[in-house]
A and B are shown apart, each in its own frame.
Chain A
């Protein structure tokens, strides 16, 4: 029962990701695409240090290591 709840919850989250991305790609949408949100985050800098870029690269690197190497 709890296992089905977890699977259902994660599936719902993935479907919501797809739905919001689909909504963002419609003509004249006021929702930015995930790529635009990432690009905006990557603009963040503290002085000369591209903190947003380093943070997002680091997160994505960790995600790949977690799923594909561990």
Chain B
């Protein structure tokens, strides 16, 4: 007997469950956190992990967790506030380009990212957000 399509629920694949994906992301982050800035290995690892996630995200291999909204409510304009504040400071520090006197965001973040633990945490945040985008 045929069931209406909208009543069927696709079971999540084994690798798509948090019990699998979170440890995988942690392992990838710990490896990434050991790779120093400006090294070929760090470049290749970033390009490889990001490229793989983009490939998964564009090949429709992962079903979305919930449908995307068809339109945004006017309240979405509130997001322009933090984006504008960040953009103004990043733009000003980048254009003036006076180094540590008036540093860009990445110049401020660089010393913190030299610590392996902080670097691994940043890797985990980046990969987790990337995985979240792939799942949308």
Chain A residues packing against B (C-beta within 8 Å): 2-3, 5-7, 9-10, 12-14, 16-17, 19-20, 23-24, 29-32, 34-40, 42-43, 50, 53-54, 56-58, 60-61, 63-70
Contacts and interface: CB of A to CB of B under 8 A. Distances in A.
Interface of B: 32, 35, 37-39, 42-43, 45-47, 50-51, 53-54, 57-58, 64, 68-76, 78-79, 81-82, 85-86, 88-90, 93, 98, 100-106, 108-109, 113, 119, 122-123, 126, 129-130, 132-134, 136
Contacts of B72: 32, 36-37, 40
Contact of A16 (B85, B90, B106): B85
A65 B74 contact: no
Contacts of B58: 50, 53-54, 57
Contacts of B38: 69-70
A68 B119 CA distance: 7
Given A32-B75, A32-B76, A37-B79, 16 more contacts: A6-B102, A6-B103, A10-B105, A17-B86, A34-B79, A35-B132, A36-B72, A38-B133, A39-B69, A40-B71, A42-B133, A57-B53, A60-B129, A60-B130, A69-B42, A69-B45
A10 B57 CA distance: 31
Nearest to B68: A39
A53 B69 contact: no
Given A6-B89, A10-B86, A35-B132, A42 B76 contact: no
Contacts of A53: 57-58
Given A3-B102, A37-B76, A60-B130, A65 B68 contact: no
